[in-house]
Structure 1
Amino acid sequence: MRTLRLAAGAEAASLVVLSANLLTVHTPAVSSLVGPLHGTAYLVVIAATWQVSDAAASGARWASVVPGVGGLLALRRLRNAGV
């Protein structure tokens, strides 16, 4: 669960940074540094959620594949399920 929490935070934070960069100065260096971080965090969120045994019953597995905020949605569903 700790891995899922860290990856969900990194996924959401990197999306904010990428969006802010796109809406303001669009510096290629920021995109090239934060883009792979966001993609890796997204994949870690999916993998970590699918390893939680109670994730299938709560619908967290399918929530985790939502780009950008899937990790936060999965954590919310797991918390509401009592995991």
Structure 2
Amino acid sequence: MTIPLRSPRHLRIAAHAELISLTVMLANVFTIHLKPISSVMGPTHGCAYLFVVIATWRLKPAPAVSIAALVPGVGGLLALRLLDRSDPAVGQEI
């Protein structure tokens, strides 16, 4: 019997922060375009994106998970989904 691999909590938080920051940033650009919001959300999204990519790669998952983490905006959530479905014994998807 294998225990399903649960993704780390810090990766879940960063993946959601990446998506939320991108949504806020795009909503700001397409509506009122306030400079202070852009100047805060841009670096926030960039840091969350880098954190997701590095945290995913440090887990040494299957190659598909590492590649999914590279997709901006939703890559963290895709990687989380693939991590939750993978078999830790062989490192491959079920």
Q: Residues of 1 paired with 2:28 and 2:19: CA distance?
A: 14
Is residue 59 of structure 2 the alignment partner of residue 52 of structure 1? yes
Q: Residues of 1 paired with 2:87 and 2:20: CA distance?
A: 25
Is the helix fraction higher in 1 or 2? Answer: 1
RMSD: 1.2
Q: Percent identity?
A: 51
Is the strand fraction higher in 1 or 2? Answer: 2
Q: Residues of 2 paired with 1:13 and 1:6: CA distance?
A: 11
Instruction: Give unmatched runs, 5+ long, in structure 2.
Output: 1-7, 89-94
Corresponding residue for 2:47? 40
Q: TM-score, normalised by structure 1?
A: 0.91
Q: Say which one has the larger Rg.
A: 2
Deviation for aligned residue 1:13: 0.3
Q: TM-score, normalised by structure 2?
A: 0.81
Corresponding residue for 2:74? 69
Corresponding residue for 2:85? 80
Deviation for aligned residue 1:80: 1.1
